[in-house]
Amino acid sequence: MGASEQGPVRIQCWQAVKVGEALVRAERTVDPTGLADGDVVVRVAGCGVCHTDLGFLYDGVRSGKPFPLTLGHEVSGVVTHAGAAYAHLLGQSVVVPAVIPCGACALCAEGRGSICRKQLFPGSDVDGGFASHLVVPGRGLCPVDLAALERAGLALSDLSVLADAISTPYQAVVRSGLRAGDVAIFVGAGGVGGFGVQIARALGAHVVALDVHDDRLALMKEVGAELTLNVRGPAGPLEPSELKKTIGAWAKAQGHPAHQWKIFETSGNAAGQTLAFGLLTFGATLSVVGYTLDKVSVRLSNLMAYDAVAQGNWGCLPEHYPAALALVLDGKVRLGPFIERRPMSAINETFEALHAGSLRRRPVLVPDFD
């Protein structure tokens, strides 16, 4: 076992104790001499707040580890202690993947680590990042070049959102087979969708952004969307068929493909999922990135009639992280307009505001424990 900080690690954290109740301060101690060879301790620089965290706390979405649990799966920080297998990472700034496959099973060997049955989800399967430190496997950690980070004008805490809000749409875009010149449509331009728009544009797509907020759509224009549409018309929500015709007419006028669209459902609500399915065209690929407990009703025969593909996307394989990080450090994916730093002591107010829908930027909580 190697250590760059000596003695027991005093972990201060915020815990979810009961569904629907405020998070509470807690403390525990970890003896780093007892670390498994493959584990590390990461001192948290920042932890993003995701709607998945809200689902655990407010909606009773079942976590892998029962409450009390420290939530938080978007984590960046510095490795302070390491088991023998990862001693070379001591002192390294890293981003912790939100989904950590085991790397040894048959599914992982087939490149399907996203469905590895032994995968680890920090903030669900083990205590997560709303804390001063967390213990996670060293496998898959994404190293961060601090010089490149400084050149990009970013703080290490800002990169916490790479662990889900950026990497998840990155994997979805890669898995869709998107090529330069394709039409990419994002249904929902908040957090994940806003980063997805930038990723698709960086990879050469002609991007369409759909949302119900004009301010979000204006921002999408600034970061690369060629067409933005508010799906709320004067008389109510626009029908998918109407939106599809509008997008088709725009694509034709611009000389963009009329078929094989890449459609990304990033709203995480039933209306968005219904709309995304309704945009299917010949040879289209629909990627479901957002999550909702609500059910939707669709005609599956449309997949047959359009010879289209619908697929889900769970997290992102750790091997994709360096490429996604490069887009951020190169300025092709902007963080500034999409995130806001807050002290971790404001966690309960932040959860309440995000749950009420009053935040437009993804909060990144920075530890401020005594």
The dihedral over CA atoms of 312, 317, 319, 322, expressed in degrees to the nearest 10, equals 80
Looking up tokens 């966690």 gives: 347
What average pLDDT does this structure show over 306-327? 97
Burial category of 25 from C-beta neighbours within 10 Å (exposed 0-12, middle 13-18, buried 19 and up): exposed
Tell me the per-residue pLDDT of 73-113, one tens digit each, with 9 for 90 and over. Answer: 999 999 999 999 999 999 999 999 999 999 999 999 999 99
| CB atoms closer than 10 angstroms to residue 115 | 15
Distance, CA of 181 to CA of 247 (rounded, Å): 15
pLDDT(5) > 80 = no
Tell me the per-residue pLDDT of 190-248, one tens digit each, with 9 for 90 and over. Answer: 889 999 999 999 999 999 999 999 999 999 999 999 999 999 988 788 899 999 999 99
What average pLDDT does this structure show over 272-290? 97
Instruction: Report helix, strand or coil for 247.
Output: helix
| CB atoms closer than 10 angstroms to residue 22 | 14
Instruction: Report helix, strand or coil for 326.
Output: helix
Distance, CA of 35 to CA of 158 (rounded, Å): 28
pLDDT(2) > 80 = no
Tell me the per-residue pLDDT of 14-38, one tens digit each, with 9 for 90 and over. Answer: 999 999 999 999 999 999 999 999 9
Q: What is the pTM of this model?
A: 0.95
pLDDT(3) > 60 = no
pLDDT > 70 in the chain, percent:
98
Distance, CA of 90 to CA of 57 (rounded, Å): 33
pLDDT at 75: 98
| Backbone phi and psi for residue 317, each to the nearest 5 degrees, phi listed first | -65, 140
List all residues 6 or more positions away from 358 whose beta carbon is below 8 Å from its beta carbon. Answer: none
Higher pLDDT, 158 or 237: 158
| CB atoms closer than 10 angstroms to residue 271 | 16
pLDDT at 236: 80
Burial category of 287 from C-beta neighbours within 10 Å (exposed 0-12, middle 13-18, buried 19 and up): buried
Tell me the per-residue pLDDT of 53-66, one tens digit each, with 9 for 90 and over. Answer: 999 999 999 999 99
Distance, CA of 257 to CA of 347 (rounded, Å): 45
What average pLDDT does this structure show over 279-306? 96
Q: What is the mean pLDDT of the chain?
A: 96
Tell me the per-residue pLDDT of 162-190, one tens digit each, with 9 for 90 and over. Answer: 999 999 999 999 999 999 999 999 999 98
Domains of the chain: 2-164+316-366 (3.90.180.10), 167-312 (3.40.50.720)
pLDDT(305) > 90 = yes
| Backbone phi and psi for residue 267, each to the nearest 5 degrees, phi listed first | -80, -35
pLDDT at 237: 87
